[in-house]
Amino acid sequence: MNIVRYTALIIMLFAFAACTDSSTKSTQESIQGKWELYSAQRNDKNVETLEGTYFHFMGDTLESNFPTTPNTPYTVPIEITANSITNLAQEVVFMVEPNDYTDTLHLSTMFKNNDFDLMLRRVGSD
């Protein structure tokens, strides 16, 4: 009886891992290309100073001018999961809000003690 339980548990763990890997791959493939900001909020208030901000996803690399460093634009290595994009050079994490990523991408992040909510529109793909 215990063998059946352990076998079922192992099958469920493999299925979960496969779904997670599949979701990560889907997110990574779906967001490739260039996105421009069309709406931004900082601490629940509209921010117009980020006008012209873009994110360009190229595999496991991000080119952007989102002001996380004094030098913009910049190109950094990233790690993508099903629900996050981590800027590995600056340890900035963008949470990816559920979406089909056809035309819009919704990112949120905490940067310098400020909550940012970013709405991006696709302008090109690779």
Superfamily of domain 2-124: Calycin beta-barrel core domain (2.40.128.20)
Query: pLDDT tens-digit profile of 27-49?
Result: 888 899 999 999 999 999 998 88
Query: pLDDT tens-digit profile of 52-66?
Result: 999 999 999 999 999
Dihedrals phi, psi of 10, to nearest 5 degrees: -65, -40
Residue 14 region, left (φ>0) first, then alpha (ψ -120 to 50), else beta? alpha
| pTM of the entire predicted model | 0.76
User: Where do the domains of the chain lie?
Assistant: 2-124
